[in-house]
C-alpha cells in the first residue's frame, strides 16, 4: 500500500532524511519510532503529500504522491486520513463542524448523509452528545478523539498518526492507543503511528520501524525488536523505559562519602 524509495530531505543544509526506504503492506499498522529530531514527523508528512522530497519517491497504491497533480493528487489524498499532533481543530467551530469539515469542503455529500456520518464517527470514538461543544470546552483526550473522528469520516484506506498521545496523561494516552487498535480491527486500514509510546504501542502494531541517523536502521515485528541484541536498539529501549543501558553504568550513583541507605 505504501512504498518509500531512497527518500532524502534537507532543511537549510540540515540533512534530516538520508535515504529512507520502507514498505508497508496493505492492512498493516506500523510504529515509526526513534530519537527526537530523527525525522519521524517529516517522513509522515511526505507520506501524506504535505512535503516534497529532495530525492526519492513515496508510492501510495503504486502512484508517486509527490509527482501527482490535480485530480490525481486529490484522488490519492482521498485515501488518507491524518491525525495531527495537537489535533488541529478549528477553535471557532463546534465538534460537529470540525468533523464535518472535510466532507463539506472536499465532497458533494448530501447534508443528511454528512450528519449521519459525523454522528456515527463521534459515536465510534465515544463522543456521542458532544457535537455542540467547542474545542475549548473539552479535554485534551477528547480533542484527540474528535480529530480521529474527523480523519475517519472520509472512510480513508490509510491513517497517519503524528504523536497521537502527546500531552495526555498515561491512562488517557493508553485509551487512545486502544481506540486506534479497536478501529483498525474493525476497518482494516493501513496505518503509520509516529510515537514515543514505547513499548506500549508495540501491543497494537504489526511492525516497528526505527529511524536512526536519517535512515531506517531496523524494521522488525515487535517481538523481534524487543529481543534484538543490536546495541542501538538496546540503548533506545533502555532510554524509553527509563532504565540505564544494560551494558552501561547504573542510572543512579551514590554521592561520594554517602553512607546512607
Instruction: Check pLDDT > 70 for residue 248.
Output: no
Length of the chain in terms of residues written: 261
pLDDT of the residue at 243: 53
Strand pairing report for 190-194 and 29-34: parallel
163 vs 31: CA distance, rounded Å: 10
Three-state DSSP at 90 gives coil
pLDDT of the residue at 179: 94
Question: Same structural domain for residues 183 and 59?
Answer: yes
Question: Same structural domain for residues 68 and 195?
Answer: yes
pLDDT tier at 75 (50, 70, 90 boundaries)?
Answer: confident
Average pLDDT over residues 183-191: 95
Indicate the residue among 155, 189, 206 that finishes a domain.
155
Indicate the residue among 140, 155, 170 that finishes a domain.
155
Strand pairing report for 207-212 and 215-220: antiparallel
Q: Look up the domain containing 54 and give its range.
A: 1-79+179-248
Question: Same structural domain for residues 65 and 28?
Answer: yes
pLDDT of the residue at 43: 96
Rounded to two decimals, what is the model's pTM?
0.87
Angle at 8 between CA 51 and CA 235, to 5 degrees: 105
Question: What are the phi and psi torsion angles at 207 (to 5°)?
Answer: -145, 160
Report how many domains make up the chain. Answer: 2
- Tell me which residue of 145, 48, 53 sits closest to 95, measured CA to CA: 145
Angle at 200 between CA 197 and CA 201, to 5 degrees: 70
Domain membership of residue 171 (yes or no) is no
Question: Same structural domain for residues 70 and 98?
Answer: no
Question: Same structural domain for residues 74 and 90?
Answer: no
Question: Same structural domain for residues 7 and 70?
Answer: yes
Assigned C-alpha cell, 33: 519510532
Domain membership of residue 137 (yes or no) is yes
Amino acid at each position: 500500500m505504501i512504498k518509500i524509495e531512497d527518500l532524502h530531505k534537507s532543511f537549510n543544509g540540515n540533512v534530516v532524511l538520508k535515504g529512507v526506504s520502507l514498505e508497508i503492506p496493505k492492512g498493516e499498522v506500523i510504529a515509526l519510532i526513534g530519537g527526537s529530531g530523527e525525522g519521524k514527523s517529516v517522513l509522515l508528512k511526505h507520506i501524506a503529500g504535505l512535503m516534497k522530497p529532495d530525492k526519492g519517491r513515496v508510492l501510495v497504491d503504486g502512484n508517486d504522491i509527490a509527482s501527482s497533480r490535480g485530480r490525481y493528487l486529490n484522488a490519492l489524498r482521498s485515501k488518507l486520513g491524518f491525525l495531527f499532533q495537537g489535533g488541529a481543530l478549528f477553535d471557532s467551530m463546534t465538534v460537529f463542524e470540525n468533523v464535518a469539515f472535510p466532507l463539506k469542503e472536499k465532497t458533494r455529500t448530501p447534508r443528511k448523509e454528512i450528519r449521519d456520518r459525523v454522528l456515527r464517527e463521534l459515536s465510534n470514538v465515544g463522543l456521542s452528545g458532544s457535537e455542540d461543544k467547542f474545542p475549548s470546552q473539552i479535554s485534551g483526550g477528547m480533542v484527540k478523539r474528535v480529530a480521529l473522528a474527523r480523519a475517519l469520516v472520509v472512510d480513508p484506506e490509510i491513517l497517519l498518526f503524528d504523536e497521537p498521545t502527546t500531552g495526555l496523561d498515561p491512562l488517557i494516552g493508553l485509551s487512545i492507543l486502544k481506540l486506534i487498535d479497536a478501529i483498525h480491527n474493525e476497518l482494516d486500514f493501513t496505518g503509520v503511528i509516529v510515537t514515543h509510546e514505547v513499548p506500549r504501542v508495540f501491543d497494537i502494531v504489526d511492525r516497528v520501524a526505527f529511524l536512526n541517523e536519517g535512515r531506517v536502521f531496523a524494521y522488525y515485528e515487535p517481538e523481534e525488536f524487543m529481543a534484538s541484541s543490536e546495541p542501538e536498539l538496546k540503548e533506545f529501549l533502555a532510554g524509553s523505559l527509563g532504565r540505564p543501558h544494560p551494558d552501561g553504568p547504573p542510572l543512579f550513583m551514590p554521592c561520594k562519602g554517602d553512607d546512607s541507605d
